[in-house]
Structure 1
Amino acid sequence: MSDVDDAIAAARSSWSRIADPDPAMPDRAPRRAGQGARRLKRIAAAVIAILIAAFVAGIVSPIGIMGVFLTIVAMLAVTVAIAMWPTAADRPPPPPEKLRTLDLKALPAQTERWLQAQRRSLPAPAQHLIDRIAERLRTLSPQLARVDPAGESADEIRRLIGEQLPAFVDDYARVPTTLRTTERGGRTPDAALSDGLGVIEREIAAMTERLAQGDLDSLQTRGRYLELKYSGDDSAG
């Protein structure tokens, strides 16, 4: 990790100055569409359950006009409650200092939420890199179920994703907007941000590959075994 640490530190040193944050909270249309679909499914399931309950009650004993009215009220109440119930995406993302204390399995998703909250305040090249990092985090997330939280791999993941990545973006956010395109030490803060994010994106990809190495080796070994065992039979037939 020393090479990654050095590269990120070099990029951060390009602008480590007094600044004024410029927070932003962008919407992610595809994700919101998915959340809306899930809400509709829950509403539909709840309404159907109420109708079934009312039908069964009506078989046992006629529910009358008042029963029909109460059924409608119950359906409206459930619909409003589910529609207004806040989801995880509706809550503000965790602050950077909170990320480093999260459970390892939750870290990629929560780091992605924090990154997406900063996305709109970043220059276009950095936004593209943030999207690529988000994809890397989504790929990495299921792999962490098999990572020992007390192991060296977990420490590396926490350091890069839970500490250095948010600290790096946070440093840029504190740089005044008027200075972000001003060259300092051979690079502008905008360029240094993109360079650092590129380093992080590549390292997350490398982490994913290292964690998958055992499965890749097993797949290749099993494939060779199948070829040796069965390909000869096929040719003989």
Structure 2
Amino acid sequence: KVMKRTANRPIPMGLVPAWAALWFGLALGVLSVVVCAVWLNTTTAVLSVVGFIYYAVIYTMWLKRSTPQNIVIGGGAGAVPPLMGWAAVTGHVSIAAWLMFGLIFLWTPPHFWSLALLKNEDYRRAGIPMMPVVRGARSTKVQSVWYAAILWLAGIALYFTASFHWIYLVCAMLIGAAFFAVTVKMLREPDNENVWVRRTFLASLLYLPVMFAAIVAGAVL
């Protein structure tokens, strides 16, 4: 209710009661586990439970309001789907799957911190200790560049874990370099300006679909 970016959503506006959202979320979570256990395999079902608890309890209920590293640690929750997808098809989790997990995990800080820089006053007003609120814009940007650099390397490393076509390696190098370059531009921008902060956020929205499209292309060629 306090933050402008979320004030008009159904629950803060009172259109959906909090208790109804809670039970709906719990029902979907339980149903997802049942679907995975019955129609897929135990490994996928267990990963579903881990992802659900990680996101809803560890990240949302605990980390979000307790540490500026909230989305860094919590990023693992959003990175569970590639592990589930791999396990659903193969019944196990491989190094390639963990590196795809790593892509989302490492992508999360520059993605969410660029948004947090744009909505800094919102988070400050709500008392949520996002990195820009606690450490300031400069430290947040420096850390984002480091994550983007490691993300670039992780994308390249993925090529060597499975039978990918060389076209994936080229794409991974170019996509990673482009995203890294944007975060560097953000770092070089004065902290009272948000042109490259906004561009970094927009680039982060493009990064995952483009990168995973390259993974699919590299796998089928």
TM-score (norm 2): 0.33
Q: Which has the higher contact order (CA 8 A, sep 6+)?
A: 1
Which of the pair has more CA radius of gyration? Answer: 1
